Structure 1
């Protein structure tokens, strides 16, 4: 695995502190490569969405980790996470799961409530990673 790119967090004192486990801006200082994922749903290998937000979050993050691994990266290489949720009530579980996956790593984050393409899809996540 390649090491993460050199990153520098930016949380300017002239603005509000981050209200969660993220930074306002994350500068990629010396990357050699970037990886952009497509929106990744919590779908298993057969394309089925398991029941419930926890199962879909686990599957979505497992899918993202597989993409990162194929590129020789880990979650420590993630510089941006965008999460699309089917309902605002899913924000708490999605934030908690992301924090559990990322640990102390705090990339830039955006979370939106959106109509997803299928009714049984509860979450879609896309990432940008750098190495």
Structure 2
């Protein structure tokens, strides 16, 4: 089986020793991704953009997502993100879980992890 690793150059990739995404076994596994911005909605939008870029580089896309996990330090901040998530996944919503957990830096309000099919 061929494994392909996709790096985005994020600050934590080299520090921790991981990559943005791994293509293996017919799937694209995208690491937990945080975004930039002042609030949870801006960070959610940014994280989805980073994830979409990694999926595109892998040959997939958000429309092929089969699983998504959302991590938030405050579950009350999740609902404002729902419109962005509906827009991002459209008519192809993946199975999803939201977990309340501390993130690597208190400035981060949401982290998103995605698994998507690799078409073809």
User: Runs of at least 4 residues of structure 1 off by over 4 A?
Assistant: none
> Helix, strand or coil for the counterpart of 1:38?
strand
Q: Unaligned stretches of 5+ in structure 1?
A: 1-31, 43-48
Q: TM-score, normalised by structure 1?
A: 0.68
| Equivalent of residue 32 in structure 2, options 29, 32, 39 | 39
Higher CA-based Rg: 1
User: Take 1:105 and 1:93, find their aligned partners in 2: how far apart are those partners?
Assistant: 20
- Normalising by the residue count of structure 2, what TM-score does the alignment of the two structures yield? 0.74
CA RMSD, aligned part only?
A: 1.2
Matches within 5 A, 1:32-71: 33-42=26-35, 49-71=36-58
Which structure: greater helix fraction? 2
The superposition leaves residues 72-98 of structure 1 with CA deviations (integer Å, 9 ceiling, x where unpaired) of 111111000000012111111222211
Q: Secondary structure at the match of 1:37?
A: strand
Deviation, 1:34, is: 0.6
Runs of 5+ consecutive residues of structure 2 not aligned to the other structure? 1-24
Report the CA distance between 1:111 and its aligned residue.
0.6
Distance in 1, matches of 2:93 and 2:49, equals 18
Higher relative contact order (CA 8 A, sep 6+): 1
Aligned residues: 94
